[in-house]
Amino acid sequence: MQGMTELLKGVLEGAVLQLIHDRGETYGYEITQTLNQLGFEDIVEGTVYTLLLRLERKGLVNVEKRKSQLGPARKFYRLTATGETARSAFWQKWAFLVTQLANLKPTNEPDVTNKEA
Amino acid sequence: MQGMTELLKGVLEGAVLQLIHDRGETYGYEITQTLNQLGFEDIVEGTVYTLLLRLERKGLVNVEKRKSQLGPARKFYRLTATGETARSAFWQKWAFLVTQLANLKPTNEPDVTNKEA
DNA sequence: TTCGGTACTTTATATTACTAAGTACTGGTA
DNA sequence: TACCAGTACTTAGTAATATAAAGTACCGAA
């Protein structure tokens, strides 16, 4: 979708934390594919990899590099305890935001949730 | 709320567009107060004013400076046609995001919307 | 041996919220 | 009068993040 960049700030990190949590363990390329399938179609590899580096730097994930039989080695990510806390905190912040905006949003607004016009 | 900064990116602009739309006409100081009352308690004047300057630069608002009997002159903002389009587009993008995240969010998550623990 | 798919890296850029410090006008009050 | 609180806007700088772009490298199959 067009012009989502700013709106994705912070959200993307939360989404990735959740994906890692769900899978238990996963790697950048897979995360990118998954995000794309989930509707975040414009997210490219570079975005995800820089995000993962950041998570690592912040101590939210553990990394383990392992070989793959169909391509280069993969870097598997797991949430640390801090990461799990961050994931949980993210959803609280998100819920807060959603509530605030619901108060602002005009009820008469079309509220187009379906993609097909 | 703590650590909302990144999550607010893009959202704040949409919120302000909506507030201007609602009031028909309003000014920075009032917008700041309103946001604070609405739960965006940490938003300070500087943030709003820079945002308004940006909206003006982008042609989303018209500005008219008028005197006030209780303080310095106020700069009143009104949405332009482009601004109205941007406001509408914002809610569509927001609805899209909310939908995507709802798919990601674990149902078992506490979902704490109320402030009191 | 070339190519497509897999997988990760790195540098630079644009936007945005936020900080901080300041200017200035008004009315009341001590 | 002098001061102060409340109103109202400005501006320079910073941090964080998503994104663009370009590249490296591994593998199997045609």
Domains of chain B (ranges, CATH numbers): 5-104 (1.10.10.10)
CA A72 to C1' C2, whole Å: 19
pLDDT at A116 over 90: no
**Among residues B62, B88, B112, B13, which one has the least CA distance to residue A92?**
B112
> Does residue A48 contact residue A13 with C-beta atoms inside 8 Å?
no
Interfacial residues of A (vs B; Cβ cutoff 8 Å): 1, 3-11, 13-15, 18-19, 21-22, 38-40, 88-89, 91-101, 103-106, 109-113
Among A69-73, B63-67, B85-89, the range scoring the smallest mean pLDDT is: A69-73
User: What residues contact B53, with CB distance under 8 A and at least 6 apart?
Assistant: none
Does the pLDDT at position B8 exceed 60? yes
Q: Which helix (H) or strand (E) holds B76?
A: strand B71-79
B47 min Cα distance to partner chain A (Å)? 16
Share of chain A above pLDDT 90, in %: 85
The per-residue pLDDT for range A23-42, each reduced to its tens digit, is 999 999 999 999 999 999 99
Contacts of B14 in chain A (CB under 8 A): 101
Give the Cα separation of A35 and A33 in Å (integer). Answer: 6
* Residue among B38, B89, B92 whose CB faces A104 most closely: B38
Tokens of B13: 């602009």
Nearest by CB: A111 against B40, B95, B106: B95
For residue B51, give both structure tokens. Answer: 């945002």
Give residue A18's pLDDT band: very low, low, confident or very high (50, 70, 90): very high
**Does residue B117 carry a pLDDT above 50?**
no
Q: Which strand D nucleotides have any atom less than 7 A from protein CB atoms?
A: 6-13, 16-23, 25-28
Q: Judge if the beta carbon of A23 is closer than 7 A to nucleic acid strand C.
A: no
Strand C closer than 7 A to residue A100 Cβ:
no
Nucleotides of C under 7 A from a protein CB: 5-12, 15-22, 24-27
